[in-house]
Amino acid sequence: MSGLWCVALGYGRKELIDAAHRQMTELPYYNSFFQSSTPPAIELARILAEVTPPQFNQVFYTGSGSEANDTMLRLVRRYWQLLEQPHRNVIVSRWNGYHGSTVAGASLGGMKPMHEQLGPDGVLPGIVHINQPYWFGEGGDMTPAEFGLARARELEQKIEEIGPERVAAFIGEPVQGAGGLVIPPDTYWPEIQRIVDKYGILFVSDEVICGFGRTGQWFGCEHYGTRPDFLTMAKALSSGYLPIGGLMVSDRVSRVLVEKGGEFFHGFTYSGHPAACAVAVANLEIFRREHIVERVRTDLAPYLATRWRDLAAHPLVGEARCVGLLAAIELVPDKSSRRFFEPRGEVGMKMRETCTRNGLVMRATRDTLFIAPPLVISHAEIDELLSKVVRSLDETTVWARAEGWL
Ligand code: PMP
């Protein structure tokens, strides 16, 4: 799992450790308020403007992905205020999406158990959810292509229901991670882009997992050909060696903020922390020097995909899907229908435990099991990973038969 989708360059990268040490020796901290900054924060901003899509030339730093999404929400509201449309305050998100663990992050996310824990007032006002593009679980009789279009069009229906003049933004992960690695059908994102363009609403790509090569492109939005106005990020930005997140703000938005906005009263003590920025700079320099993203796209992802898809032949597996270095299997009682085990999650948990015992870290969301290996995994390690998945599937099948699940 690359720690938690973050240790993209793997462990033991001395350059990253040295970068932190050097920076902490020279200047461990200075704030980024009152028109101040530090050299590593400036250098990182320069690199981010280069590696992100061309509409992005400004960055706000945060300490995490959750803070990045929080900041985004504030900027979205501010943007429409400055354009004298303060009533445009609704953000549309998706059920089963994940956008973090702060109040805004949990509200933007579509995890019902997290919403319930927010208490009687629940989700922040002005946040609504539409259904996710999870074909295996919810596609019914539709083909993936039909289903992708149908789920995207729920955005249009929701906009019409709320009133187009009230909708501020749409947020989505290119591939839903924590929700169970939901890889949308190919028809989904082009239709979403058509709809956000039609209504002129802001589009946020939450790249906390998909950013920095995970899909085989620098950002998931590039893999799916979308043109977001905000891009939120964290995790692989520093390969997890130090905590740092941020959000790229497109020229469309930053122009309004700069020209009309005056000061935006925002910032965290640790925004642009010099040591974290120095590590992120060193991290992205390695990304470029070792052609990490290109290697994922042209070599590792195709190699993993051919082997991963073979897992679909296993009696316990209903679907084996992957994109880039993200891959999932659905465990089912009967391969001939897309029906789940009842109750859900127990077989998945058993499979997860079996994997751990066999020396493989796999994550489980109900009966969906998934991996996100480091972007520097070797072919031999992919082979080892696959053999451990197969062994764990076999052992889980024996257990499931003995326990009457099959
Ligand atoms: N967005 C996505 C898509 C995530 O996967 C996560 C974390 N797993 C977050 C936001 C929140 O990031 P953090 O945990 O750094 O606050």
Q: Residues 266, 163: one domain? A: yes
- Please report which confidence band the pLDDT of residue 263 belongs to, taking 50, 70 and 90 as the band edges: confident
Q: What is the Å distance from ligand 1's center to 229 Cα? A: 19
Q: Residues 284, 331: one domain? A: no
Report the distance separating Cα 75 and Cα 79, nearest Å.
6
Q: Residues 43, 70: one domain? A: yes
Q: Quickly list DSSP for 276-326.
A: HHHHHHHHHHHHHHTTHHHHIIIIIHHHHHHHHHHGGGSTTEEEEEEETTE
Q: What is the Å distance from ligand 1's center to 86 Cα? A: 28
Q: Is the pLDDT of residue 107 over 90?
A: yes
Which residue, 237, 261, 289, sits at the end of a domain?
A: 289
Q: Residues 72, 115: one domain? A: yes
Q: Residues 116, 235: one domain? A: yes
Give the pLDDT confidence score for residue 367 in this predicted structure: 98
Q: What is the Å distance from ligand 1's center to 398 Cα? A: 36
Report the distance separating Cα 98 and Cα 100, nearest Å.
6
Which is it for the CA torsion 62, 63, 64, 67, positive or negative? negative
Q: What is the mean pLDDT of residues 52-69?
A: 98
Ligand 1 atom 10: the closest Cα is on which residue? 99
Q: Residues 395, 298: one domain? A: yes
Q: Is the pLDDT of residue 262 over 90?
A: no
Which CATH number do you get for residue 361? 3.90.1150.10
Q: Residues 71, 97: one domain? A: yes
Which residue, 244, 261, 289, sits at the end of a domain?
A: 289
- Please report which confidence band the pLDDT of residue 402 belongs to, taking 50, 70 and 90 as the band edges: very high
| pLDDT tens, residue by residue, 285-344 | 999 999 999 999 999 999 999 999 999 999 999 999 999 999 999 999 999 889 999 999
- Please report which confidence band the pLDDT of residue 39 belongs to, taking 50, 70 and 90 as the band edges: very high
Count structural domains, the chain: 2
Q: What is the mean pLDDT of residues 115-136?
A: 96
Which CATH number do you get for residue 226? 3.40.640.10
Give the position of tokens 């099991």: 369
Mean pLDDT of all residues belonging to the chain:
97
Give the pLDDT confidence score for residue 95 in this predicted structure: 98
Which residue, 274, 289, 304, sits at the end of a domain?
A: 289
243 neighbors 276 (Cβ within 8 angstroms): yes
**Ligand 1 pocket: which of 107, 235, 270, 271 to mutate (most atoms within 8 A of CB):** 235
Name every protein residue with a CB atom under 6 angstroms from any ligand 1 atom.
64-66, 69, 98-101, 105, 173, 177-178, 206, 208-209, 234, 245
Question: Of all residues in the chain, what percent carry a pLDDT higher than 90?
Answer: 98
Q: Residues 240, 310: one domain? A: no
Give the pLDDT confidence score for residue 133 in this predicted structure: 98
Q: What is the mean pLDDT of residues 37-63?
A: 98
Q: Residues 224, 160: one domain? A: yes
Q: Is the pTM of this model over 0.95?
A: yes
* Half-sphere exposure (Cβ direction) of 218: Cα atoms closer than 13 Å: 14
Q: Which atom of ligand 1 is nearest to the CA of 4?
A: 8
Range of the domain at 393: 292-402
> At what angle are helices 274-289 and 39-51 packed, to 10 degrees?
40
| pLDDT tens, residue by residue, 174-228 | 999 999 999 999 999 999 999 999 999 999 999 999 999 999 999 999 999 999 9
